[in-house]
Amino acid sequence: MRFILFFLVLAVNVFSTESPTYLNLRDYLTKNKVRVTEGSISGPEETWLVQFLKKHPNFTSIAEIGFNVGYSAEIFLKHCPKAKVVSFDIGKHEYLKDGKKYLDMTYPDRLSLVFGDSKKTVNKYANQNKGEKFNFIFIDGSHEYLTAYLDIKNMKKFARKNTYVMIDDLQLLKVRDAYNRCCKEGILTNCKVYKMGWRSWAIGKYHFR
Ligand SMILES: C[S@@+](CC[C@H](N)C(=O)[O-])C[C@H]1O[C@@H](n2cnc3c(N)ncnc32)[C@H](O)[C@@H]1O
């Protein structure tokens, strides 16, 4: 009897047409042998961000620059169950589509990807979606000075007074300079800089008169 049962279970597993289930994006990428080359949010910064999002369960809209394979987007979709996410990315990595596929399967109709250079696409999107505002803005795109500066500056179009803006990768000199310029020019206000391990980021608000 046990012998028959064993083969029955084996047959169900072998011939099952159900698609495999995955624990999370990382598990999906590992099982599908997708190799990711660019870094993403992780470790203490990820833990900090999750805690921050848990304190704001009513976020309904999040915008980010820098999708990469979607790890930060997954954090937003998972921990802000009411939120839609709009992510801007230049699309330089082929694996972006794998991440997008998994997130669309797992969190249907909640993620939009806007392809292209953020120096152009952010303004274009804002013009095409007049008045669209977000609760949380996450800036984690180019590490070049001018692009990082324009990313911070242009994303203000999506902010209200109470919108939080987080700028990642302040451990990188060019990004830090871009952030400092935005503080000096009064684009940002009430910012707090965090440093954990080798990573650093800032969170604050946009300045409105
Ligand atoms: C550090 S990765 C983002 C990591 C992601 N936020 C995460 O934590 O999972 C930076 C991303 O910015 C994108 N990027 C670089 N320059 C860009 C630009 N000018 N416009 C839009 N995206 C850009 C890259 O394609 C890359 O996917």
| Centre of ligand 1 from the C-alpha of residue 6, in Å | 48
Is the model more confident about 3 or about 100?
Answer: 100
Write down the H helix ranges in 55-187: 71-79, 96-106, 118-128, 145-154, 173-184
Alpha-carbon radius of gyration of the chain: 20
| Centre of ligand 1 from the C-alpha of residue 68, in Å | 5
What are 140-197's pLDDT values in tens digits? 999 999 999 999 999 999 999 999 999 999 999 999 999 999 999 999 999 999 999 9
Give the Cα separation of 180 and 12 in Å (integer).
60
Q: Are 202 and 169 in contact (CB under 8 A)?
A: no
Q: pTM of this prediction?
A: 0.92
140 lines ligand 1 (CB under 6 A): yes
| Centre of ligand 1 from the C-alpha of residue 144, in Å | 11
Residue ranges of E strands in the chain? 61-65, 84-89, 111-115, 136-139, 164-167, 188-196, 199-206
- Joined tokens for residue 85: 């996410």
Please state which CATH number belongs to domain 40-206: 3.40.50.150
Indicate the top mutation candidate among 49, 50, 65 to test ligand 1's pocket, ranked by most ligand atoms within 8 A of CB: 65
Location of structure tokens 């109709």:
109
Give the Cα separation of 26 and 68 in Å (integer).
13
What are 67-114's pLDDT values in tens digits? 999 999 999 999 999 999 999 999 999 999 999 999 999 999 999 999
Q: Are 201 and 47 in contact (CB under 8 A)?
A: no
Contacts of 3 (CB under 8 A, 6+ apart): none
pLDDT of 9 over the 90 cut:
no
Instruction: Give the alpha-carbon dihedral of 7, 13, 15, 17, to 10 degrees.
Output: 160
Nearest residue (by CA) to ligand 1, atom 16, is 142
Indicate the top mutation candidate among 26, 90, 172 to test ligand 1's pocket, ranked by most ligand atoms within 8 A of CB: 90
| Centre of ligand 1 from the C-alpha of residue 11, in Å | 44
- Amino acid at site 15: F
41 lines ligand 1 (CB under 6 A): yes
Q: Are 94 and 82 in contact (CB under 8 A)?
A: no
| Centre of ligand 1 from the C-alpha of residue 120, in Å | 14
pLDDT grade for 20, boundaries at 50, 70 and 90: confident
Long-range Cβ contact pairs of 48-56 (< 8 A, separation 24 or more): 48/194, 48/196, 49/75, 49/166, 50/75, 50/79, 52/203, 53/79, 53/80, 53/136, 54/79, 56/80, 56/135, 56/136, 56/164
